[in-house]
Amino acid sequence: MINDATLPLHVEATEWKLPSSRKVAVICLILTETGLFSIFVAAYLFYLGKSLTGPFPRDVLELPVLSTICLLSSSVTVMLAERAFNRDRVGRFKLWWLVTIALAAFFLGATALEWRRLIYQKGLTISTNLFGTTYYSLVGLHASHVVVGLCLLSLVFVFSLGGYVTRMHRERIEMISWYWHFVDAVWVVVFIVVYVIGR
Amino acid sequence: MASQEIALIDERQPGTSFVERLHGLVITVDHKKLGLMYVGTALGFLLVAGLMALAIRMQLAVPNNTLLEPDVFNRFFTMHGTAMVFLVGMPIIAGLGNYLVPLMIGTRDMAFPRLNAFGYWMFLFGGLLLYFSYLGAPGLAGHGSAPDVGWFAYAPLTGRAFSRGHGTDYWILSLLLTSVGSTVSAINVLATVFALRCRGMTLMRMPLFVWLMVVTNFMILLALPALSASQVMLLIDRYLGGHFFDTQAGGSAVIWQHFFWIFGHPEVYILIIPAFACVSEIVPVFSRKPIFGYPVMVGATVMIGLISVSVWAHHMFSVGMTSVGNTFFAISTFLVAVPTGIKIFNWLGTMYGGKIRLELPMIFCLGFLFQFLIAGLTGVMLAVVPFNWQLTDSYFVVAHFHYTLVGGFLSGMFAGFYYWYPKTSGRLLDRRLGFWHFWLFFIGFHLTFDTMHFPGLLGMPRRVYTYDAGRGWETLNFITSLGALIQAAGVLCLVVNILRSWKKGKVAGNDPWDAWTLEWATTSPPPDYNFETLPVVRSRRPLWDLKHPEDPDWKYD
Ligand SMILES: [Cu+2]
């Protein structure tokens, strides 16, 4: 009879190193999220110029330059925060982390104002025409990811105020920053598709 | 000492009362329990969806039948298709992956046990929600029932105007839930394989089963979002007044077909690759030879995965694409046949010159090989565009994909059940009853699905609730329905066998098949921690090395 006690068949001297399961999982998550966004982007591109009635993108869309700069620079600040964290500079970590949160919040606020302007001044809602349908769903899908990111960031910040974020959480911090970079990268695509090609 | 004894007793019999046992299942995060729960629940749904198929076949057994009303018939084929794909196929592969992958790679649990439990419960409640539509879908408005738009739910049939009540919404929401479950389970399997392999288990030493599970789960990650995204779009159309699939406002019904099949075609491979996985483990063990061409098998599977994401529009030849589009999708579909053929060749190569033992798992594998070959051939026929124009939406197509999913997928799973059941229960499935299952199912299957090709060739469209006499379809349909009854008898044998053998079957021992992969190195059933000390492997067949120290595999690596 074979039992597990006899199993260490041969002890190998070589190092046995495997990637962290958390990293693999986050990469997989990003992969499947990419698939999700691809379909919405494909729908947006396919329906460009197919709206039968106005308002049309060129009439109502304005380049969200400031909020784009904010979101993209939040990728830099989250990196700085991470670096400070890895060097045990807690104060600096909290500062950069807070800046990241502020930038993300600014981006969301700007999106909210833009939507308000489109809805109340331009009369564009999700049901107005195809442009409205595709625009709000693609930008909204991205914004919902920003909201999730903002929740994660805030959670870490609150915990760090209480001193609960320690070296043990290094990899989790890194994973959140990976997710955040992904959200930013998606925005680059959305920006190009909606505001550059789509206008 | 006394407390230790109590702990031991508790482990063996986790609660005696039903409530305690149920509680144990609800709170468990153990990959083996969850794996069995996945498979058990899927078998439950298989019976329900199978009964629906049986009702459909009874309705079609004779012309001008009135057993099922037309609208009931529509609900039945929709629920049958949806349930078979999402509540039977997907959870069975999740269950197999859950149970076997950690054992095969020599680890104690999945990478994220709680996420694993979460995935199961999402699947279960998604499935229940789908069936709840029979009660819930009429809503306050009073019309509508279970979804009746077909499992691929083509627009504009799913628009508010044509699909009243909440049937379509239940279809969307329940599948979104099960998709979340499938996604987290796929992430979990991949993280487990890449991060938790035991010492010495390099990627190219993994059992082929694990490799194929990796490919399938990658495909889940890539394909499922297409379905989820288009379902969200449909929800936006139905509830927020969006226009994605609203042709009146410039939207496109064809884009739904594209998005659906971007998911739908890879889905077929997501289901069939785990069947390949079972066959790739069973055939070598019962031929007493290592798998023929391991690296080629891995490569061919990856190729299938890659090519299968670029063939989706072969489901849409009759929609009116450009001839460039038609040609592209026809050629890419032919291309999939190449790696698939390589795999069949390798299984035959493994058997060639081997000492074949005709035990139940092997018999089902042989059935699988034969049926999957034919399914592949009719698949290639359907990839010929003009032939497809003639036969699309006919019973020929229905026969073809049931050949892949019942003759291929389900036979592969049955083989897996007979092979790994002794590991999960410690007892063998009864051999005599197993042969009854095989022969009834085999004969019933061929009666049904061989015959079903012909009404299709004669022009019988799919999804008609009845047909007139005198078109030459009567005998063929009658034989088809007869076969369905025989298949049902076969499945009944399996269910009885599974239930009866759990307590009363012949004791199997740890390694009843004299196999070579790590799951057979531990006890049957395995303890909660799987392995007392984590194994170390030096070749693809660690148990061969252990049993044959004079001639281990690693000498030849
Ligand atoms: Cu296909």
Over the stretch B221-253, which tens digit does the pLDDT of each residue have?
Answer: 999 999 999 999 999 999 999 999 999 899 999
- The pTM of this model reads 0.92
User: Domain limits at B344?
Assistant: 29-554
Residue B145: pLDDT band with limits 50, 70, 90: confident
For residue A102, tell me if it sits in a domain.
yes
Q: What is the mean pLDDT of chain B?
A: 92
- pLDDT computed for residue B393 by the predictor: 92
Total of domains in chain B: 1
For residue B444, tell me if it sits in a domain.
yes
- pLDDT computed for residue A183 by the predictor: 96
Contacts with B138 (C-beta within 8 Å, 6 or more apart), sequence order: B144, B145, B165, B166
For residue A4, tell me if it sits in a domain.
no
- Taking Cα atoms as reference points, which of B409, B423, B421, B417 lies closest to residue B367? B409
Question: Does the distance separating the beta carbons of B531 and A4 come in below 8 Å?
Answer: yes
- pLDDT computed for residue B3 by the predictor: 41
Of B112, B221, B241, the CB nearest to A32: B221
- pLDDT computed for residue B141 by the predictor: 66
Total of domains in chain A: 1
**pLDDT tens profile A21-59:** 999 999 999 999 999 999 999 999 999 999 998 899 999
Question: Does the distance separating the beta carbons of B229 and A39 come in below 8 Å?
Answer: yes
- Averaged pLDDT, B377-384: 93
pLDDT at B215 over 90: yes
For residue A165, tell me if it sits in a domain.
yes
**Polymer length in residues for chain A:** 199
DSSP code at position B146 = S
For residue A28, tell me if it sits in a domain.
yes
**pLDDT tens profile B96-106:** 999 999 999 99
What is the chain A residue with the closest CA to B103? A4
- pLDDT computed for residue B15 by the predictor: 52
For residue B166, tell me if it sits in a domain.
yes
pLDDT at B9 over 80: no
Of A3, A11, A130, the CB nearest to B243: A130
- pLDDT computed for residue B553 by the predictor: 81
Find chain B residues with C-beta within 8 A of A39's C-beta.
Answer: 225-226, 229-230, 259, 262
DSSP one-letter string for B245-261:
T-GGGT--HHHHHHHHH
Residue B13: pLDDT band with limits 50, 70, 90: low
- Taking Cα atoms as reference points, which of B521, B547, B526, B428 lies closest to residue B207? B521
For residue A132, tell me if it sits in a domain.
yes
What is the distance of C-alpha B218 from the center of its chain? 15
- pLDDT computed for residue A14 by the predictor: 61
Give the CATH number, domain containing residue B405.
1.20.210.10
Residue B6: pLDDT band with limits 50, 70, 90: very low
- pLDDT computed for residue B324 by the predictor: 93
- Averaged pLDDT, B72-76: 94
Three-class secondary structure of residue B182 per DSSP: helix
- How many angstroms away from the CA of A142 is the closest CA of chain B? 13
Of B187, B536, B554, the CB nearest to A25: B187
DSSP code at position B308 = G
Q: How far apart are CA B451 and CA B443, in angstroms?
A: 12
Residue B20: pLDDT band with limits 50, 70, 90: confident
Q: CA torsion, points B86, B437, B513, B423, in degrees to nearest 10?
A: 50
Residue B135: is it exposed, middle or buried by C-beta count within 10 angstroms (0-12/13-18/19+)?
A: exposed
pLDDT at B143 over 90: no
- Averaged pLDDT, B32-59: 95
pLDDT at B4 over 80: no
- Taking Cα atoms as reference points, which of B279, B399, B297 lies closest to residue B342? B297
Question: Does the distance separating the beta carbons of B241 and A35 come in below 8 Å?
Answer: no
Whole-Å CA distances, B328 to A131, B257, B321, B393, B533:
30, 17, 11, 21, 53
- Averaged pLDDT, B140-154: 84
**pLDDT tens profile B285-307:** 999 999 999 999 999 999 999 99
Question: Does the distance separating the beta carbons of B225 and A32 come in below 8 Å?
Answer: yes
The residue with greater pLDDT, B509 or B142, is B509
For residue B24, tell me if it sits in a domain.
no
Question: Does the distance separating the beta carbons of B225 and A4 come in below 8 Å?
Answer: no
Digit-by-digit pLDDT tens for chain A (199 residues) are: 344 444 444 444 467 889 999 999 999 999 999 999 999 999 999 999 999 988 999 999 999 999 999 999 999 999 999 999 999 899 999 999 999 999 999 999 999 999 999 999 999 999 999 999 999 999 999 999 999 999 999 999 999 999 888 888 999 999 999 999 999 999 999 999 999 998 8
- pLDDT computed for residue B128 by the predictor: 96
pLDDT at B448 over 80: yes
For residue A54, tell me if it sits in a domain.
no
- How many angstroms away from the CA of B180 is the closest CA of chain A? 11
For residue B94, tell me if it sits in a domain.
yes
Residue B39 Cα to ligand 1 middle (Å):
26
- pLDDT computed for residue A72 by the predictor: 95
The residue with greater pLDDT, B542 or A11, is B542
Token representation of residue A3? 């039992």
Tell me the CA end-to-end span of chain B in Å, nearest whole number. 48
What is the chain A residue with the closest CA to B530? A4
- pLDDT computed for residue B361 by the predictor: 96
User: Domain limits at A147?
Assistant: 21-48+64-197
Residue B211: pLDDT band with limits 50, 70, 90: very high
Find chain A residues with C-beta within 8 A of B531's C-beta.
Answer: 4, 7
Residue B249 Cα to ligand 1 middle (Å):
30
- Taking Cα atoms as reference points, which of B170, B136, B135 lies closest to residue B153? B170
- pLDDT computed for residue B557 by the predictor: 67
Q: Are A29 and A182 in contact (CB under 8 A)?
A: no
